[in-house]
């Protein structure tokens, strides 16, 4: 009886010790074993960026073309923004007797078109089909245009297309046809105009433009030391204003690159250096790569010049634009900053795996006030941080759609 009581007493003591040990473990590890299942964050793909809006002045390598007869008015041989080779005709000035000759040509074009339509002539040509599509596209684009200058530009395009169509039609017609005779007469009149007019040729290859604002010889691209905030503000330009077409001058523009100069004094801009590669978001929402090629320090701000090699032709109409400077942009696994912990200067997140908490060391690539872009450490990096081979083998990697604990 006595032995039974002693045995029972020992069993009670053992049970009590085991119970107390379990309680201690549960208390010390309760925050790790039991987590509110709603306090989680699902790892996703995302991106973070640090950007700001600015205004800048477009600087190009541009050569102005102007002849002696600029007061006569000009005829665009190449369209605004069209590529041009060296020594190619860009535009010409009207000759003194040109108006009457042009009236004759217009009548011939009309007569040629009427003959073709009434005779049902079938002159298949890829060039004619292409021109007809261009005419149709230009006409369609005029429906929603209220800007008088744009309407006039489109009207000139249509007239040029019709003239080209008449020329091609005459070339394809039989040599003894009346259409061919009219076309030959038309060509003679054009040669008469050409012989009596002043023709402007491209001194270099590039992009033809007739948007001349007088700043071509002021905003130079070979050296930016002349730039100052005072100079740029003195131009009194409106952001996004279209440079009007000139009726007296043209120019050849370097179509491979241009520059954007901006006066700026933000915190990020003060950290920028020549040679930095960043991204610019233009007003058309295009994001283009840019390089900082020049910085000038002023009293209250800096002037930064960016070089871009994309969307150069898209900017041909403008001199001053608004744009976003994207100082940095990172994409990858995106998590909430509330998931981040730190131990021994190593960031980690926690994952509830079958009731037990796993610590996953992670590398924080970029961070803002709310989110971070992270990636896993490589095994070599973990070894350099002091993890043993056994620990490295047992470390879980963070991956897309993981549910990590949100603190």
The reported pLDDT for the residue numbered 175 is 44
- The b/e string for 167-178 (b: 16+ C-beta within 10 A; e otherwise) is bbbbebbeeeee
CATH number 3.40.50.720 given to 51-63+219-244+255-329: no
The reported pLDDT for the residue numbered 159 is 55
Which residues does residue 63 pair with via DSSP β-bridges, in sequence order? Answer: 252
Give the start-to-end residue ranges of the domains of the chain. 1-30, 31-47+333-405, 51-63+219-244+255-329, 95-196
What does the block give as tokens for 25? 């473990």
The reported pLDDT for the residue numbered 102 is 77
Quickly name the fold that domain 31-47+333-405 has.
2.40.420
- Judge whether 31-47+333-405 and 51-63+219-244+255-329 match in fold: no
The answer to whether the beta carbons of residues 31 and 318 sit under 8 Å apart is: no
The reported pLDDT for the residue numbered 156 is 58
The reported pLDDT for the residue numbered 148 is 45
As a whole number of angstroms, the distance between CA 152 and CA 78 comes to 16
As a whole number of angstroms, the distance between CA 184 and CA 80 comes to 29
pLDDT by residue for the chain (407 residues), tens only, comes to 555 555 656 666 666 656 666 556 555 554 444 444 458 899 999 999 999 999 999 999 999 999 998 888 888 989 999 999 999 999 988 887 777 877 887 888 778 777 766 665 555 556 556 656 665 676 566 555 544 445 455 555 555 655 655 555 555 555 456 777 777 887 887 777 777 778 899 999 999 999 999 999 999 999 999 999 999 999 999 999 999 999 999 999 999 999 999 999 999 999 999 999 999 999 999 999 999 999 999 988 899 999 999 999 999 999 999 999 999 998 999 999 999 999 989 999 999 877 788 899 999 999 988 999 999 999 999 999 999 999 889 898 999 999 999 98
């Amino acid at each position: 009886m006595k032995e039974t009581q002693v045995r029972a007493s020992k069993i009670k003591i053992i049970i009590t010790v085991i119970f107390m040990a379990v309680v201690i473990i549960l208390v010390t590890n309760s925050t790790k074993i039991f987590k509110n299942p709603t306090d989680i964050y699902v790892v996703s793909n995302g991106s973070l960026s640090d950007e700001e809006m600015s205004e800048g002045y477009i600087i190009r390598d541009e050569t102005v073309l102007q002849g002696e007869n600029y007061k006569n008015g000009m005829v665009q041989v190449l369209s605004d923004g069209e590529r041009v080779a060296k020594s190619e005709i860009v535009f010409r000035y009207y000759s003194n007797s040109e108006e009457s000759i042009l009236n004759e040509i217009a009548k011939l074009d009309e007569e040629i078109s009427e003959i073709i339509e009434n005779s049902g002539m079938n002159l298949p040509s890829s060039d004619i089909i292409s021109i007809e599509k261009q005419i149709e596209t230009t006409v369609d684009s005029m429906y929603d245009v209220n800007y008088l200058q744009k309407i006039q530009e489109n009207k000139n395009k249509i007239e040029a297309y019709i003239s080209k169509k008449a020329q091609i039609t005459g070339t394809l017609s039989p040599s003894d046809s009346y259409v061919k005779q009219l076309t030959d007469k038309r060509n003679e009149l054009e040669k008469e105009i050409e012989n009596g007019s002043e023709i402007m040729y491209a001194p270099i290859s590039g992009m033809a433009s007739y948007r001349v604002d007088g700043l071509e010889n002021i905003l130079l691209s070979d050296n930016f030391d002349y730039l100052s905030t005072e100079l740029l503000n003195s131009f009194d330009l409106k952001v996004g204003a279209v440079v009007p077409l000139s009726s007296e001058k043209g120019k050849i523009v370097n179509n491979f690159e241009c520059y954007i100069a901006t006066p700026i004094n933000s915190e990020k801009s003060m950290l920028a250096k020549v040679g930095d590669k960043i991204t610019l978001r233009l007003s058309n929402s295009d994001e283009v790569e840019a390089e900082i090629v020049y910085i000038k320090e002023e009293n209250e701000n800096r002037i930064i010049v960016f070089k871009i090699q994309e969307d150069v032709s898209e900017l041909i109409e403008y001199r001053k634009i608004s744009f976003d400077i994207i100082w940095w942009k990172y994409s990858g696994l995106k998590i909430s900053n509330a998931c981040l912990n730190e131990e021994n200067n190593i960031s980690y997140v926690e994952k509830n795996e079958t009731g037990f908490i796993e610590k996953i060391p992670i590398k924080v690539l970029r961070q803002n006030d709310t989110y971070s872009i992270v990636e896993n450490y490589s095994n070599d990096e973990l070894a350099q941080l002091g993890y043993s081979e056994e620990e490295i083998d047992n470390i879980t990697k963070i991956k897309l759609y993981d549910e990590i604990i949100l603190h």
